[in-house]
Structures are given as structure tokens and as C-alpha cells.
Amino acid sequence: MQRACVGAPPLTVIVFIYHRSNNDSTISAVLNYDSDFNISVGYILLGPDIEEETVITAIESQFANFSHPLLIPTLMAELTAGDLMRKLRLVHDKLAKIELATGFSDWTKVTAKRDYLNSELQQWARELGALSCNFAFLEVAVQCTMVLNDFTLQEMGLMRNYVPASRRGSLKGITTNLINRVEFLSSNLNHMQAFGGIKQRMQAQQTVVSRPQTPLLIDRRLLKVDSYSISSRSKTML
């Protein structure tokens, strides 16, 4: 992809796109900018749920208006944040169903049951375990995206150190626009960390399903057998 800069060779970007097959919503973007030839070369490592076509379309659609050495990491962080938010909402929705089932929630306004069947507790415990693992990956992915975003913002402030003065003027307006996008994304990522109070709510539900249960639901036939057995032993001893 190329985009002409006034008084300079056109900015050329060469990007190799790879996917992780077993790690959702993670991202790595490595670019090397050659200021002499105005070329950015690098690779992007994405999770399996961000389609390659989506990435290519996004780059091509924005490159015409935002021809900038740091467009790629900015765009990748935005795409990843969108994918993470979608997955966090799925975790939130699944957790809400468990809260509705257990009856322990401040916002569902349902009455908690007094006792649960062991099969119910085991099922909820498995579901919470899966959600906890899923959320742990998402939480780390949000933090990694924040690191990438902070690094991109830092590099924009340091561009004067490696971009020739003759090109800074043509990049000034675009840089300001990208800085605004990066700062806006930083705010969104901070809010994503607290979205829905998911971690605290999962901990609360784990407490609910792991608390000792009073065995009130016992088969009456077992009670009769046990009583008869105890009575028989007592008579034998006498």
C-alpha cells in the first residue's frame, strides 16, 4: 500500500498477517519504519476471531486518509478492543444466566432458593470454571492491548527523533488525529477492565455454589431402611 506525501517519497506499508489458533483476542504488532525510504515493514499476530479480510479492509480504507507510520498499531488496537468488548459481553450474559438460576444477584431481583440439588451445584460450578478461564484470557488481553496503546502513544511523541523535519509537516494533522484516537481508546480500555463487575460477580457466584448444603432432600425409603437397620442391630446387641 502506498500513499504520497508532499515533498517526500510515498509512504509504503508492507504487513504480514498471522493468526494464533489457540489464544483468543491477543495481538502483537511489530513495525520497522525506514525514514530514508519512507517505508514501514512488519507483522501482525492476531487471535483466531479477527478475520484477515477485516484487517485488510480496515487498513486499505483508512490508509488513504491516515497515511502514517503508526496507523497499523493504532488500528490493530482498535480492532482488538472491539473483539474483546464483544467477548466480555458474552461472558457477562452467561454469568447473568447463572445469577438468575442461583437467585443471588442485586440486579435480577429474583428470590434465592433455600437449597439446591448437587447436580445443579456441579453444573453451575463447571460453567463458572469455564467462564473464569475465559475471563482470565480476556482480562490479560485487555491489559496487553493497553500496553500496545500506551507504547503507540509514546512513539507518537518521539516521532521527531526519527522522522525527518521535511516530513513532519505533512504528518502533523494526521498525528494529532491518531493521538486523539489512541487516547479515546485508552479510556475505553480502562472502562472495559471494570465492565459489568464481572470478576467480583463470578467470585460471588463461586461462593454460592461452593457453600456447604444442608442435605434436606433425602429419599424417604433410605430413611426407613437406615432406621430399620439401626433398630435391628440394637435388638441383636440386647
The predicted-structure confidence for 110-166, as pLDDT tens digits, reads as follows: 555 556 777 888 889 999 999 999 999 899 889 988 988 998 898 888 877 777 777
**Number of independent structural domains in the chain:** 1
Instruction: Look up the pTM and report it.
Output: 0.72
User: Strand 39-46 vs strand 8-19: parallel, antiparallel, or unpaired?
Assistant: parallel
User: Strand 39-46 vs strand 27-34: parallel, antiparallel, or unpaired?
Assistant: antiparallel
Helix, strand, coil tally for the chain in percent (to 5): 65, 15, 25
Q: Which range has the worst mean pLDDT, 47-51, 175-179, 194-198, 199-203?
A: 47-51
Domain that holds residue 227: 2-237
The predicted-structure confidence for 178-198, as pLDDT tens digits, reads as follows: 999 999 999 999 999 999 999
Enter the C-alpha cell of residue 61. Answer: 480504507
Residue 75 has pLDDT above 60, yes or no: yes
